Structure 1
Amino acid sequence: MRIAELDGLHVHYTDEGDPDGAPVVFANSLGTDLRLWDKVLPLLPAGLRLIRYDKRGHGLTQASKAPYSMGMLVRDAEQLLDHLGVKDALFVGLSIGGMIGQGLSVKRMDQVRALVISNSAAKIGTADMWHERIAAARAGGIEPMADTVMERWFSKKFRAKPELHAWRSMLVQQTVDGYTGCCAAIAGTDFYTPTSGLRLPVQGIAGSEDGATPPDLVRETIDLVPGSRFALMRGAGHLPCVEDPEGYARILTDFIKETGHV
Structure 2
Amino acid sequence: MHMADLGDLRLNYRIDGPEDGTPVVFANSLGTDLRLWDQVLPLLPPGLRILRFDKRGHGLSDLPEWPYSMGQLVHDTERLMDKLGFRDAIFIGLSIGGMIAQGLAAKRLDLVRAVVLSNTGAKIGTREIWQTRIDAVNAGGLAAVVDATMERWFSKPFHETDEYHAWRNMFLRCPAQGWTGCGMAISGSDFYASTAKLRLPALGIAGSEDGSTPPDLVRETVGLIPGSEFRLIRNAGHLPCVEAPEEYAAILTEFLKAQGAV
Q: TM-score, normalised by structure 2?
A: 0.99
1:72 and 2:104 aligned: no
Shift of 1:144: 2.1
Shift of 1:143: 1.1
1:245 and 2:237 aligned: no
C-alpha distance in 1, partners of 2:167/2:90?
A: 26
C-alpha distance in 2, partners of 1:18/1:159?
A: 37
* Identical amino acids, percent of aligned pairs: 62
Partner residue of 1:117? 117
Partner residue of 1:34? 34
SS of residue in 1 equivalent to 2:91? strand
Partner residue of 1:172? 172
C-alpha distance in 2, partners of 1:104/1:194?
A: 11
C-alpha distance in 1, partners of 2:32/2:87?
A: 26
Partner residue of 2:25? 25
C-alpha distance in 2, partners of 1:171/1:66?
A: 18
Contiguous gaps of at least 5 residues in structure 1: none
Partner residue of 1:103? 103
Within a 5 Å distance, the mapping from 1:53-64 to structure 2 comes to: 53-64=53-64
Partner residue of 1:129? 129
Partner residue of 2:261? 261
Runs of 4+ in 1 over 3 A off after TM superposition: none
Partner residue of 2:234? 234
1:153 and 2:153 aligned: yes
1:206 and 2:219 aligned: no
Q: CA RMSD in A?
A: 0.6
Shift of 1:201: 0.2
SS of residue in 1 equivalent to 2:162? coil
Shift of 1:8: 2.1
**Could you report, residue by residue, the CA deviation over 1:31-76 in whole angstroms, capped at 9, with x for unpaired residues?**
0000000000000010110110001100111111111000000001
Shift of 1:100: 0.1
Q: TM-score, normalised by structure 1?
A: 0.99
Shift of 1:261: 1.8
**Could you report, residue by residue, the CA deviation over 1:136-194 in whole angstroms, capped at 9, with x for unpaired residues?**
11111001211111111000011110111110110011111100000000000000000
Q: Which amino acid aligns with 1:243?
A: E
Q: Which amino acid aligns with 1:61?
A: S
